[in-house]
Amino acid sequence: MDLQISALLAQDGIVNGAIYALLALALVLVFSVTRVIFVPQGELVALGALSLATLQAGHTPPTLWLLLALAAGVLLVELVRQQRGLAVDWPVTLVWTLLLPGAAALMSLALKPTGLAGQVGTTLLLITPMGPLLYRLAFRPLADATVLTLLIAAVALHGVLVGLGLYLFGPEGFSTSRFSEARFDVGNGIQITGQSLVVVGVAAALSALLFVFFERSIVGKALRATAVNRVGARLMGIPTSLAGDLSFALAALIGAVSGMLVAPITTIQYDTGFLMGLKGFVAAIIGGLASYPLAMAGAVLVGLLESFSAFWASALKEVIVFTLIIPVLLWRSLRSRHVEEDE
């Protein structure tokens, strides 16, 4: 292996690691706030990529009908809750079920954007509301269940979304146009592509924005408080159900962005997101499902390990990546103490 090959492999590893870092951030965020290991995070990546590809092909994304169906389901559930005498936060509910889905329908059916910015915005409108809608349908009724029960629900939701992805988009693979066609020669025949810089730059910018959001904003601090102690946050007047909505909305937003970033550099199918989500999960485990910086560092490690493994032993690259989780879990099991779960 010479310097040029090493540089190319490192570039691919860092680009992949940037995507996995975003997924790891989403998984850590959702788990810390809601105790849900969000297995379908990869499906949101695939839906985001496929929606953008459909828009670029000049068609209406089938994800619009999925979004409208989820919104109708949540509206029905909230009406039933109100009839049973339970409190319903209608302003927030209407944002997730009417305002954002209505804007997505307007962009997809009426305006049909042809520019890249409009297509990216439409994709975000299509995917982001799915997070809180899925939370309200699948996980909020189980908010007081054990982590194992929530994991079973997440796996079941993963199966449903994979099936819906196959039904909506078919088995064909899709890709999108690159955000940048530029190439930069750094010497010794080594080139850095503009698309790679876009992926790393967007991932870094989004991570920085999330840091500022959690450190500086009242809403971000409320989410952090919920992550530290759900019972204490509820006693202090923080609506933990709204925290769940926001954490899933951020996870869906991150999934959509990740899908749009990865779509130009690989072919996306309805089930492509699952492996990506698993690699993000490996990175999140390295961070203990609690530390954002460690999860991001783990994601870069996973990306580099995958890239160099593909060169040395391509048939075993997935095995090598997923084997990384074993020593991490062993090390954490030896260092951690059992803590009773908050009721």
Q: What is the pLDDT of residue 227?
A: 74
Residue 50, pLDDT above cutoff 70 = yes
Helix (H, G, I), strand (E, B) or coil at 30: helix
pLDDT tens digits along 286-301: 888 878 888 999 999 9
Rounded distance, CA 190 to CA 315, Å?
26
pTM of this prediction exceeds 0.75: yes
Task: State the average pLDDT over residues 195-213.
Answer: 92
Q: What is the pLDDT of residue 186?
A: 76
pLDDT band for position 343 (50/70/90)? very low
* Residue among 287, 273, 293, 274 at smallest CA distance from 324: 287
Q: How far is CA 229 from CA 168, 212, 223, 343, in A?
A: 40, 21, 10, 10
**Spacing of C-alpha 160 from chain mean position:** 17
* Residue among 18, 8, 6, 9 at smallest CA distance from 300: 18
pLDDT tens digits along 222-239: 888 887 777 788 878 777
**Spacing of C-alpha 204 from chain mean position:** 15
Residue 339, pLDDT above cutoff 70 = no
Residue 64, pLDDT above cutoff 60 = yes
HSE-up (13 A, CA, CB side) for residue 73:
14
